[in-house]
Each structure stands twice: as C-alpha cells, then as structure tokens.
C-alpha cells in the first residue's frame, strides 16, 4: 500500500465516523469507475450507520450499469440541484478537477462542508481538506479497495461488485495498467 494512503486512511475514516450525512457524486460523463466507486463508498457508509446520498451529476447514467447494487438509489440531480446545507461531508471520487464534479457552473463548497478528495488522476490539484490523490492506482475503485482493507471493512458482495466494475472499466477490462 502506498505510504500516503496509509497515512491518510485514519484521517479519512475519522471524518466519516464524525459525519452524519454524506454526499457522493458521479462525475461528468460518468464511467464505470465513477459510478462503481460512488456506490461502493455509499455501501460502506451505510454499513457504518451513516446517511449517504449519491447524485448522478450532470450527465445521464448508462443503463448498462443498472445491475450495480444500489444503482436505483442514485438521485438524478446535479451538484447545483442539491441543498448542500443538508450535508456535513462531501466525498469527491474520481474527479480530477472541480469541473468534473459539475460543468454547469463554478463549484464552490460552503464553509461548513468538509470535502474529501479521493482520485487517481495525476492532474488533480487537491481541492479538498483531505486529498488522497495517487496516480499509481489504475482506478479510484482500486484506491477504495486499499482504503477499505486498511480500515478492515468486510468487503460484502455488493461492495466487491461495485469495486470490480470500477477497476475493470478503468483498465479497459484488464487490458492496460
């Protein structure tokens, strides 16, 4: 496990444990890793007893992913259609920049909303209060697997399915790194 992940894993877990209602999103033009990582994190948060909401974002979700556990719970709204005051934590997954969260306007986080940024894209500038950005991972879903393992989360079939689809999608179905 990369050193940064081992260092930040306890900080991220502490933030999750303190949160009451967590907002997750699918990025603009959501792919398998975007949807898979958001749903996997949502399952873990629910297992921790947290309220978690996943929004679909700017773009329609591919119906080919409707088999993913939890897909039907994704709220068909974008960042600007949500009342951010309802949430105390926003987790950005697989978004290399703020315009990947939404391209419908300037993404600005309210002062009371903690932001955790977990991403594998090397261009990510680190826009959260906690930033786990590591391009040595093939997918954000792979990063989440490492985090969940560090936290000793039991990887239930629903979580495994979401992570597998995310990793498979970002590796071209295991054809490239």
- Give tens-digit pLDDT for 118-129: 999 999 999 999
- Give tens-digit pLDDT for 52-77: 999 999 999 999 999 999 999 999 99
Q: Quote the CA–CA distance of 149 and 166 in Å, as a whole number.
A: 17
The mean of the pLDDT values for the chain is 96
Task: Residue count of the chain, please give it.
Answer: 177
Supply the angle between the helices 157-170 and 32-47 in degrees, to the nearest 10: 160
What band does 2 get if pLDDT is binned at 50, 70 and 90? low
Q: Give the residue-averaged pLDDT of 72-97.
A: 97
Give DSSP secondary structure letters for 51-69. Answer: EEEEE--SSPPPGGGTTST
């Amino acid at each position: 496990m990369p050193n940064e992940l081992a260092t930040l894993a306890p900080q991220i877990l502490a933030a999750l444990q303190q949160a009451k209602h967590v907002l997750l999103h699918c990025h603009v033009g959501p792919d398998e890793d975007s949807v898979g990582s958001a749903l996997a994190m949502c399952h873990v948060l629910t297992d921790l007893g947290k309220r978690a909401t996943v929004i679909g974002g700017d773009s329609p979700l591919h119906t080919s992913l409707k088999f993913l556990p939890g897909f039907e719970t994704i709220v068909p709204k974008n960042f600007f259609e949500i009342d951010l005051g309802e949430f105390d934590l926003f987790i950005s997954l697989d978004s290399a920049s703020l315009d990947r969260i939404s391209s419908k306007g300037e993404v600005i986080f309210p002062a009371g909303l903690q932001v955790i940024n977990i991403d594998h894209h090397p261009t990510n500038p680190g826009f959260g209060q906690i930033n786990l950005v590591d391009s040595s991972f093939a997918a954000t879903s792979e990063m989440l697997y490492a985090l969940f393992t560090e936290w000793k989360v039991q990887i239930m079939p629903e979580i495994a399915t979401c992570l597998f689809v995310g990793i498979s999608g970002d590796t071209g179905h295991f054809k490239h790194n």
